[in-house]
Each structure stands twice: as C-alpha cells, then as structure tokens.
C-alpha cells in the first residue's frame, strides 16, 4: 500500500477550497494506493480557515502568509513527517483534475521517474486557452530550462506535480519562495532526479483571480529566468539553504 | 586638503560615533552590525588627521582632486554596506519562513492531538 499525499496550497480560496476537497474525497481511488490530502492555508485573510474548520477538513494554517513557495514547502515537510511515498501538488483553486492523478503518479509507482510534471500541452488535444504572451513566455522558459539543464519541459509553470520519497526530502529542504515551479524543476534535475512530463487535464479557474496578473508578469519573467540560470549553474553538491532547513 | 573639509570630516565622524554608540546602549543596534559603521568613523578620522594618505592614493589612482576620491570611497563603502544588508535580509527571510513553518506545524499537531483527545 503506497501512501500518497495531496498538498493543497490555498490563499484566500474560500470560494473553491470546499469543492476541491470534495472532488478529492469523491475520487474513485487507485488500487493499492491510499490518498490523503492536506490543505495548507497560507495565512488567508478571508474565511478559508473558518470553512476548513467548519467542514472538518485536514487544514494546516500558516500563522502568517509565506507565499506559494513557502506554503508548498510546508506540505513537503508534512509529507516527510507523515512518511508519505508520494506527494502531489494540487491547486486549492480547483484548476487541477483529480481524475488525472493515476496518470501523474504512474511513472513514480512504476519506478520510472522520481518527479512528474502534469502538462497541459504535451498532446495537442487539450483545449486549455491561453494568451499569446503567456504562450511565448512559457516557450522562452522551456527553452531556457533545456539550455541550462537539458531538461525537456513543455508546461514549465504547471503546479500539478508529483514527487517520490527522495524528491520529497529534497524539496522539503530546498524550495524557492515565489514562482517556484520552473526553478525547482531545474534544481531537481541538477540534483540527479529523473523527471518525466505527463499529460493531464486542467480546468479554467472556477472563482477568484490567478496569482499572476499582467503587472507582475514582467517581474515574473525576469525573476524566473534568473532563477533558472542560477539553478542551472549551481553545482550538484551545493544545496541551497541547507543550513537553515531541517525536518 | 582644505582645513574646513577636514573639520567637517571629524564632525561627521563624531556624529556617527555618537549615534552608533547610543544605539548600541539602547539595544537598538547589535555590536556585530555596528562594527562596519565604527570602521567608517575610524577611516574618516584617519583621513582628516593624515590627508597625505588621500593625496598618495590620488596619485596612484590618477584622480585629480582629493575630495573626489573621498566621495568615491564613501560611495564604495555604502555599496558594500548595502550589499551586506541585502544578504542579511535574505538570510533572515529564510529564517522567518522556517520559523513560520515550524510554528504552524507545531500548532497543527497540537490542535489535532487536542481534537483526538476530545473524541476519546
């Protein structure tokens, strides 16, 4: 029996969190796999915490807002403490389709990958709408990642990802604070983990707004590009912030 | 070097020294972070006392007026201080994140235990 933890980072997701968890609880399940979840409430200022408490959700509330990176990392630390075999990042806003979970974790269960990334664009069949600028940005980051780490990723910003035990331990120790997805993928690749991209289904956001608006996108591109290059030239042995992190 | 500039430098050094020492005594500044400012005070006093140093340096670096060199050195000193503060800031951000995570996990476990005890 493999233990799988779904990490649900949630910042001001009062409109979505209950439905997201409901979908997880209604999920038909996978044979020989136990699926748990934890909501990481990232110091929400709305009623996210109250909703979680009222409905008895498994919710870990951060005492202050840390941003997506700090919240997801808390989930990985939780996974280490709970002895989970696989941890899956699953957005609290209902974007990710729980029915894609079997495909996402299949390569890890089969021992063929240490870390899988759920991609919207691996096969052309999907209908995920995206602006031209966004597609150009993703293409650029994808090329940059390939250049510095020889890692082929189509959907670099995907937050629907799964990690095995060794990758969980690595991510619990090293995780970037903001816009962490592309950077952490490069760091994992550099540390010698096997990464595989898997086609998954995603939905348009149900309610609330995306964490990345137009004003932030320039900062996003510069920060992430720099982070990828820095992670790319980082030597394998040197692990970021190892001195301050522990389990 | 004009005598007025030398007096100004000594006055400036004195003001910085007083502010730094008062801050230390009021526990508003840690000794380890005060050292860089005290080094600045010493440098100002040395240069005001022995302007020959500056003239010699001007010749070495090919700078025409001593005041320009003083401004340049001052600028470099400020850049170094600011950069070291950026590094301290980054380290502290990492520590605050780690503390927040630790406290939050402890709190979660305590509440969970309380609920379990309540249920039994």
Q: Do B94 and A241 touch (CB under 8 A)?
A: yes
Interatomic CA distance for residues A36 and A5, integer angstroms: 5
- pLDDT tens digits along A119-156: 987 766 545 556 777 788 888 999 999 999 999 998 88
Instruction: List chain B residues with pLDDT less than 50.
Output: none
pLDDT recorded at residue B5: 82
Contact list in B for residue A73 (CB cut-off 8 A) is: 97, 101
- pLDDT tens digits along A57-107: 999 999 999 999 999 999 999 999 999 999 999 998 888 999 999 999 999
A29: left (phi over 0), alpha (psi -120 to 50) or beta: left
Query: What percentage of chain A carries pLDDT values higher than 90?
Result: 66
- What DSSP state is assigned to residue A151? -
Q: In 10 A of CB A197, how many CB atoms?
A: 23
Predicted-complex ipTM score: 0.83
Of B91, B95, B104, the CB nearest to A60: B104
A213 confidence band (pLDDT: 50, 70, 90): low
Interatomic CA distance for residues A109 and A93, integer angstroms: 26
Average pLDDT, chain A: 87
Interatomic CA distance for residues B85 and B83, integer angstroms: 5
pLDDT recorded at residue A238: 47
pLDDT recorded at residue B94: 94
Residue-range domain boundaries for chain B: 3-89
A232 confidence band (pLDDT: 50, 70, 90): confident
Residue-range domain boundaries for chain A: 2-233
Contact list in B for residue A61 (CB cut-off 8 A) is: 104, 107-108
Task: Tell me what the mean pLDDT of segment A180-191 comes to.
Answer: 93
Structure tokens given for A231: 């992670």
CATH code for the part of the protein at A2-233: 3.90.550.10
State chain B's maximal CA–CA distance in angstroms.
Answer: 85
Structure tokens given for A59: 């919710």
């Amino acid at each position: 029996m493999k233990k799988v933890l779904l990490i649900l980072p949630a910042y001001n997701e009062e409109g979505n969190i209950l439905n997201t968890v409901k979908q997880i609880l209604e999920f038909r399940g996978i044979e020989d796999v136990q699926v748990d979840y934890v909501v990481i409430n990232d110091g929400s200022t709305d009623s996210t915490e109250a909703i979680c408490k009222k409905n008895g959700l498994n919710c870990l509330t951060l005492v202050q807002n840390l941003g997506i990176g700090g919240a997801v990392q808390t989930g990985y630390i939780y996974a280490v403490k709970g002895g989970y075999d696989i941890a899956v990042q699953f957005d609290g806003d209902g974007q990710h389709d729980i029915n894609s979970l079997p495909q996402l974790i299949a390569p890890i269960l089969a021992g063929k990958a240490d870390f899988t990334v759920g991609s919207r664009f691996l096969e052309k069949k999907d209908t995920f709408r995206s602006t031209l600028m966004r597609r150009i940005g993703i293409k650029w980051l994808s090329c940059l990642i390939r250049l510095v780490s020889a890692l082929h990723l189509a959907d670099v910003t995907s937050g629907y990802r799964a990690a095995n035990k060794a990758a969980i331990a690595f991510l619990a120790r090293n995780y970037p604070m903001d816009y962490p997805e592309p950077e952490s993928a490069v760091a994992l690749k550099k540390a010698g983990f096997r990464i595989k991209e898997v086609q998954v289904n995603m939905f348009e956001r149900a309610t609330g707004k995306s964490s990345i608006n137009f004003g932030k996108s320039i900062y996003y591109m510069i920060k992430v590009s720099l982070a990828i290059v820095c992670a790319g030239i980082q030597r394998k042995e040197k692990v970021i912030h190892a001195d301050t992190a522990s389990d | 070097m004009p005598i007025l500039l030398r007096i100004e430098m000594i006055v400036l050094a004195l003001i910085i020294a007083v502010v730094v020492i008062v801050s230390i005594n009021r526990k508003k500044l840690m000794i380890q972070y005060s050292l860089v400012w005290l080094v600045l005070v010493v440098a100002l006093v040395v240069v005001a006392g022995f302007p020959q140093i500056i003239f010699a340096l001007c010749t070495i670096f090919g700078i025409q007026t001593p005041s320009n060199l003083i401004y340049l050195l001052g600028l470099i000193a400020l850049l170094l201080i600011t950069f070291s503060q950026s590094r301290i800031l980054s380290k502290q951000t990492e520590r605050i994140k780690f503390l927040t995570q630790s406290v939050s996990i402890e709190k979660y476990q305590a509440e969970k235990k309380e609920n379990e005890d309540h249920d039994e």
